[in-house]
Amino acid sequence: MGVEVSVEGLTKSFGSQRIWQDVTLTLPAGEVSALLGPSGTGKSVFLKSLIGLLRPEQGSIVIDGTNILECSSKELYEIRKLFGVLFQDGALFGSMNLFDNVAFPLREHTKKSESEVRKIVMEKMELVGLLGAEDKLPGEISGGMRKRAGLARALVLDPQIILVDEPDSGLDPVRTTYISQTLIDINAEIDATILIVSHNINLARTVPDNIGMLFRRHLVMFGPREVLLTSEEPVVKQFLNGTMIGPIGMSEEKDEATMAQEQAMVDAGHHAGGVDDVEGIVPQMKATPGMPFRQAVARRQERVRHIMHTLPENAQIAIQESLDETSGGNGGGGYDYAYSQEDTQVIPAYRGEGYENTTHGQG
């Protein structure tokens, strides 16, 4: 199974510009998590910090027992081998065909023979649905295919942690769903820890086991999908519904006057946009039939059951319904998972700056 990534009190600035502060979260081992937030909130900066490409000035990032902010460069090199990363643009070499692009990490970091390399590359090409496109150059294929190729390349070294920066950017909704399905299937197949950075609501609602939300330099909340999808926290609710009504504005900081004006518009019958008619816990995407059962689901649901009593009553009812609906598919539920206190993490982290956190009174 993938390894846990534990972030505590993380703060990052560039010069005098504070990007985010005091971010604390744990990516549960072998589960899919998504970090959401409006553009420019520092999602990519967070992702790059996790692999040690950027250096936060405070806090810790513990991976497999090592705090990567304090370890030697040799240790960091070893830790990095656990990662597969899909950057926002796919970052393929333009002059190499897809086969050579995907083979690159294997040829660079291993001593595998060419026939072994071929076997692995073809396996990953198949997993991302690119068989037959090996000879194409990145310039000859669609953005969606480039993303897939980038993903295949991120997978060849059998990573235990997979970071994916905006898998949906530049893709239409259907192709976004295909790549989401691929990520779910990868998790089912190799039980890797996956972090997806995105601002796509559809993806956020249907793909990850856990959701985090960055806003105004803080991690507003991080926890299992059941909790975030039933949250009354204004930022979370607005974002997951994609409406104009709420603290998030066109420029990130919205003032009270604008909020009142928009509310008045909506009260007078104006459509605030978004999808608030599908509130609540929508079904999560499942692995493609024939794939192994996704172990992460049962582990997450177990965690949710343990924190249920701390949540508002409405949320408890909705969550219970969704657990009842999905627990039938757990294949008997005989999974092996040691529950630990650290895992029960829902962070109502952000209080203040003009609105109350109404979700979690006292934990």
Ligand X SMILES: Nc1ncnc2c1ncn2[C@@H]1O[C@H](COP(=O)(O)OP(=O)(O)O)[C@@H](O)[C@H]1O
Please give the residue ranges that form the binding site for ligand X (CB under 6 A).
14, 19, 37, 39-45
Cβ distance to Mg ion smaller for residue 83 or 99: 83
Q: What are residue 196's phi and psi, to 5 degrees?
A: -110, 125
Cβ distance to ligand X smaller for residue 45 or 248: 45
Least CB distance from residue 44 to Mg ion, whole Å? Answer: 3
Binding flag, residue 169, Mg ion (CB under 5 A): no
| DSSP letters spanning 252-290 | SB--HHHHHHHHHHHHTT----S-GGG-S-PPPP-PPTT
SS3 per-residue string spanning 187-219: HHHHCCEEEEECCCHHHHHHCCCEEEEEECCEE
Residue owning tokens 């065909």: 97
**Residues facing 58 on adjacent strands:** 11
Least CB distance from residue 56 to ligand X, whole Å? Answer: 12
Q: Which does 6 bind (CB under 5 to 8 A by kind): Mg ion, ligand X, none?
A: none
Least CB distance from residue 50 to ligand X, whole Å? Answer: 12
Least CB distance from residue 176 to ligand X, whole Å? Answer: 17
Least CB distance from residue 27 to Mg ion, whole Å? Answer: 18
The tokens of 359 are what?
Answer: 């979700």
Q: Which does 345 bind (CB under 5 to 8 A by kind): Mg ion, ligand X, none?
A: none
Residue owning tokens 């600035």: 13
The tokens of 240 are what?
Answer: 């997951």
Q: Which does 113 bind (CB under 5 to 8 A by kind): ligand X, Mg ion, none?
A: none
Cβ distance to ligand X smaller for residue 235 or 285: 235
Query: Binding to Mg ion (CB under 5 A): which residues in 33-92?
Result: 44
Q: Which does 147 bind (CB under 5 to 8 A by kind): ligand X, Mg ion, none?
A: none
Whether the Cβ atoms of residue 257 and residue 240 lie closer than 8 Å to each other: no
